[in-house]
Chains A and B, each alone.
Chain A
Amino acid sequence: MSAREIFVVGLSHRTAPLEIRERLAIPAEQLTEDLRALVATGSVDETVVISTCNRVEVYAAATDPVLGSRAARQWLAQRAKSSDLDAHLYERSGGDAVSHVFRVASSLDSMVLGEPQILGQVKDAFTAAEGAGTAGAMLSRCFQKAFTVAKRVRSETGIAAGSVSVSNIACELAAKVFGKLEGRRVLLVGAGEMAEAAAKVLRNDGARLVVLNRSLERAQTLAAAYEGEARTFEDLAAELTLADVVISSTASPRFVITHEVMQTVVKARRHRLMLLVDIAVPRDIDPRVGDFENVFLYDVDQLESVSRGAVDARRKEAESAERIVQGEVLEFESWRKSLELTPTIVALRTRFREVVMAELERTAPRLRSLSDEDRKSLEKMGDAMVNKLLHQPLTELKKGVEADHGGQLLHAVRRLFDLDRGDAPAATPPAKNAATAVAKGEL
């Protein structure tokens, strides 16, 4: 019997191509329902799901991680409507899972090392799980810790220097195609966080911004902040004809810029060079658009090759970030281990036995008539007293661990009886007996 185990099952830009990731991407409004459905399977006790352009990951805590991971895999396969998903999935458990979420939040696992958006995305995922009531004590502590680690990494290493994101990389690519972006017309399709990040960079480079969005209001807000113009989708073809660079980042599940639209656009713009960057998952732009002459289309995965240069410069910073993460993982793990029931029971019995035996050792020399046989009987009596005294507390403890406050209960016991003193009880013979007793269920 042990406490809940944390594990993660998922896929990311490292293991799965864009075609697979976009099939799995979960719309924000559907997340709550999905989280609850996952817990309703009964195989996992807590869960947080992170779904971004570059990853879809199910974090969960379960008393039976094997069962839990099977449920998570089934759920993912169902979402992707695909049976060959396993090849793209990775799974980590225990300390490795904790290390993984710390690294993800610190952007060490991001396509663009050090990009600032991921922390916000992880926070959103956790908030959603809290709202859905699927983030329990274990995952809450784990994610809170992940946020602290991410902040430490950002402030203690230079990994975030220059604050590069996918949007920055897109702008960098635009500069490599057009030279100076000054005076160039850049069309932002979608007015979300990614569009805003791009707008910031592009405005600094002197580009002329046009923000096109389903809701004109949001487009206007973003456009006003960066001295751009706002448009709705009615103007899509006209704006595509005028733009030099298009950066698309809508949440649309279908292609926004289709092959048909581009066919007329390419003619109307007389084949002027055009760079389209699709940073949306699921994609916004039909990949066939990239086949037009003088039209260059990049999706999120293809942007990675652009970012490699920036990554090299940050690798050194990443090393010290990894050290911070590993230190924090050890700390978290020692806390989590303290939650485990078996070592606690073993330690508790050892502590009680130690007291009984020490007292026996002190009294025995004064009882001259005591034969070896009598002494053995006394030792047996001591064991029996320990067992009787501990029976009720241990039964309660075992019950308590299965409930939500189990962690706190275990923690309290370890503190009350000073069980974390450092002498590992498992190494001493009595503990071994106790462990066997526990294993046999002789409580």
Chain B
Amino acid sequence: MIVTLTFLAAAALYSIAGALYLVFAVRGAEDLGRWATRLLGAAVVAHIVFLGADYAVGGNLPTADIRQMLATTSALIAIGYLLALRRYRLAVLGAFITPVTLLLFLGAGFQRNVAAVPEPVRSALLPVHVGVNILGVVAFALAFAVALAYLIQESLLRKKQLGGLFQRLPPLDVLDSLGFQLVTIGFPLLTVGIITGAVVAARLGEHPSFNVSRLTAMLAWLFFAGVLFLRVLAGWRGRRAAIGTMLGFACAVVVLVGYVLRAEAL
């Protein structure tokens, strides 16, 4: 009961906060931005209560299966953003980050009756695999929001439309280097995640063949590798880096959706 209630409360609070951030980004009423942040804080509290209740009632560890993993990931994204807010003036980014959080969180509630992870997979490696992937996705989700903000900011600057939205978004160069930092953090996590994933799958007795989910995971890895190395080697930055980051995150989302669907099928 409490699990469902807190889930619904958190989802509702995320939705309202996201909507307020959006209106704030477009219209620029400072009050709206502050209220959006407060609501996001409330959503995170409800979210954490939900995670706690889920553990207490169902005995589900925050990293037990794909559903818990999504729930944990989305909470960490929101927390990461709230922490970043204390350092940077990034309130407008809430308009991009909150929807991502909401999407992953809803993914967690998509299927309530998930089969337990099969015994052979429950190795010491699994928490590592899930843990690094959670942190990686958090970093990439934030990088995605920053990249989206970069592209918007860049096109406004090019079109010489330096009105309200341009003024509220962070400086272009700040977005560029912030996005790069986030990808730099996420990339090794994703690398470890893919390797451990392969090992876990091998233990499961799966053929090391290429299924869709592994393929998209590799694709995501390639995109992020491109963002990192082409920046250093060929000076691919700014717009190209932002597009690469967004494509990489899109692939990561496809992988997650694949997991959710498979978990449902099990």
Query: Min CB distance, B161 to chain A, in Å?
Result: 7
**Chain A residue with minimal CB distance to B174?**
A179
Judged by a CB distance under 8 angstroms, whether B33 is at the interface is no
Query: Min CB distance, B99 to chain A, in Å?
Result: 25
Judged by a CB distance under 8 angstroms, whether A90 is at the interface is no
The residue that A273 contacts in the complex, of B161, B162, B163, B176, with Cβ under 8 A, is B176
Contact A273 to B235, CB < 8 A, known contacts A296-B157, A302-B160: no
Contact A273 to B172, CB < 8 A, known contacts A296-B158, A306-B162: yes
Contact with A along B146-164 (1 / 0, CB 8 A): 0000000000011011110
Instruction: Please tell me if the beta carbons of B171 and A177 are within 8 angstroms of each other in the complex.
Output: yes
Interface size on B, residues (CB 8 A): 21
Contact A293 to B167, CB < 8 A, known contacts A177-B157, A305-B161: no
Counting chain A residues whose Cβ lies within 8 A of the other chain, the interface size class is 20 to 34
Instruction: Please tell me if the beta carbons of A272 and B167 are within 8 angstroms of each other in the complex.
Output: no
Judged by a CB distance under 8 angstroms, whether A335 is at the interface is no
Judged by a CB distance under 8 angstroms, whether B166 is at the interface is yes
Of B18-26, B79-87, B126-134, B236-244, the one contacting chain A is: B236-244
Contact A305 to B235, CB < 8 A, known contacts A177-B172, A178-B171, A273-B172: no
Judged by a CB distance under 8 angstroms, whether B173 is at the interface is yes
**Chain B residue with minimal CB distance to A269?**
B235
Across the interface, which residues of A come within 8 angstroms of B239, CB to CB? Answer: 293-294
Instruction: Please tell me if the beta carbons of A179 and B160 are within 8 angstroms of each other in the complex.
Output: no
Instruction: Please tell me if the beta carbons of B171 and A175 are within 8 angstroms of each other in the complex.
Output: yes
Instruction: Please tell me if the beta carbons of A272 and B237 are within 8 angstroms of each other in the complex.
Output: yes
The residue that A176 contacts in the complex, of B160, B166, B176, B236, with Cβ under 8 A, is B166
Judged by a CB distance under 8 angstroms, whether A432 is at the interface is no
Q: How far is the CA of A272 from the CA of B240 in the complex (A)?
A: 12
Instruction: Please tell me if the beta carbons of B161 and A294 are within 8 angstroms of each other in the complex.
Output: no
Instruction: Please tell me if the beta carbons of B160 and A177 are within 8 angstroms of each other in the complex.
Output: no
Q: How far is the CA of A74 from the CA of B238 in the complex (A)?
A: 50
Judged by a CB distance under 8 angstroms, whether B170 is at the interface is yes
Judged by a CB distance under 8 angstroms, whether A270 is at the interface is yes
Across the interface, which residues of A come within 8 angstroms of B158, CB to CB? Answer: 290, 296
Judged by a CB distance under 8 angstroms, whether A365 is at the interface is no
Judged by a CB distance under 8 angstroms, whether A271 is at the interface is yes
Instruction: Please tell me if the beta carbons of A271 and B235 are within 8 angstroms of each other in the complex.
Output: yes
Q: How far is the CA of A177 from the CA of B172 in the complex (A)?
A: 5
Contact A309 to B167, CB < 8 A, known contacts A176-B162, A273-B173: yes
Residues of A293-313 at the interface with B, using a CB-CB cut-off of 8 Å, are 293-294, 296, 298, 302, 305-306, 309
The residue that A178 contacts in the complex, of B161, B166, B167, B173, with Cβ under 8 A, is B173
Across the interface, which residues of B come within 8 angstroms of A305, CB to CB? Answer: 160-163
**Chain B residue with minimal CB distance to A296?**
B157
Instruction: Please tell me if the beta carbons of A270 and B235 are within 8 angstroms of each other in the complex.
Output: yes
Contact with A along B198-237 (1 / 0, CB 8 A): 0000000000000000000000000000000000001111
Query: Min CB distance, B193 to chain A, in Å?
Result: 30
Across the interface, which residues of A come within 8 angstroms of B236, CB to CB? Answer: 271
> Could you list 5 A-B pairs, sorted by A, with CB under 8 Å?
A176-B171, A177-B172, A178-B172, A179-B173, A305-B160
- B residues engaging A (CB < 8 A)? 157-158, 160-163, 166-167, 170-174, 176, 234-240
- A residues engaging B (CB < 8 A)? 173, 175-179, 269-273, 290, 293-294, 296, 298, 302, 305-306, 309
| Known interface pairs A176-B167, A270-B235; 18 further A-B residue pairs with C-beta atoms within 8 A, sorted by A's residue number | A176-B166, A177-B171, A178-B171, A178-B173, A179-B170, A179-B171, A179-B173, A179-B174, A271-B235, A271-B238, A272-B235, A273-B173, A273-B176, A290-B158, A293-B239, A298-B160, A305-B162, A309-B167
